[in-house]
């Protein structure tokens, strides 16, 4: 299992494999080219950043993160956050809800109940482990497994941009539902991770 997201070579290989059986993907590749890799560090910090960034702007999330690092130190360990009280974390910009999510993550990691470098190889089992964290749903778990672990067949069918990207790529009249998006990509196994990254690359792309 990889320790980083899908590389350029893996993306190209996966998309080329899909293009041999999906003419619409082959045509789109010729028009927009291959996507850039989307890689995040493996470990709890990436999941904590996901929690911090939920429902706020990129700038607001960066501000909160900078305050956390100023208080806890760069690369802080889970116990550093757990040792701080509510008001200290509130001053860093973490709401009560997000403090609950952050503590859930840090408690699972600090206790050894969640070992992020030893997640199950089966994707669904790994997702089940991750969604035990408060505030981490299936979509966040899938994004983590795709960007941080480079799992090649992750398909976040609930992502609206993925759904819209599929509609554009396949010339559909409307955005497909999550169930339809999942079904449409069955033929793209085991390279659906590359396909997901390609849908984001194509979303609102003026070349299409």
Q: What angle do CA 27, 28, 30 make, to 5 degrees?
A: 70
For the record, the structure tokens of 74 come out as 């760069």
- Write down the residue that tokens 């889970």 correspond to: 78
Other Cβ atoms within 10 Å of 194 Cβ, number:
27
DSSP codes of every residue in 81-104: HHTS-HHHHHHTT--HHHHHHHHH
For residue 110, CA distances in Å to 87, 104, 107 come to 22, 10, 5
H/E run at residue 55:
none
The yes-or-no answer on residue 159 being catalytic is yes
Catalytic residue among 85, 113, 123, 159: 159
* Greatest distance between any 2 Cα atoms in the chain: 57
Active-site residue list: 159
């Amino acid at each position: 299992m990889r320790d980083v997201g899908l590389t350029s070579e893996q993306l190209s290989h996966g998309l080329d494999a899909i293009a041999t059986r999906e003419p619409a993907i082959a045509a789109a590749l010729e028009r927009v080219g291959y996507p850039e890799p989307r890689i995040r560090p493996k470990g709890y910090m990436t999941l904590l950043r996901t929690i911090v960034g939920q429902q706020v702007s990129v700038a607001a999330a960066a501000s909160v993160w900078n305050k956390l690092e100023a208080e806890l130190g760069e690369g802080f360990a889970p116990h550093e956050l757990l040792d701080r009280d509510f008001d200290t974390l509130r001053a860093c910009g973490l709401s009560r809800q997000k403090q609950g999510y952050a503590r859930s993550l840090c408690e699972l990691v600090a206790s050894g109940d969640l070992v992020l470098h030893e997640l199950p190889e089966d994707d669904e089992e790994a997702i089940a482990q991750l969604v035990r964290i408060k505030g981490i749903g299936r979509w966040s778990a899938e994004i983590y497994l795709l960007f941080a672990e480079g799992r090649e067949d992750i398909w976040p069918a609930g992502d609206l941009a993925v759904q819209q990207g599929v509609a554009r790529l396949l010339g559909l009249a409307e955005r497909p539902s999550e169930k339809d998006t999942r079904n449409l990509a069955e033929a793209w196994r085991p390279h659906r991770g590359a396909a997901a990254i390609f849908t984001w690359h194509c979303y609102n792309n003026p070349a299409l």
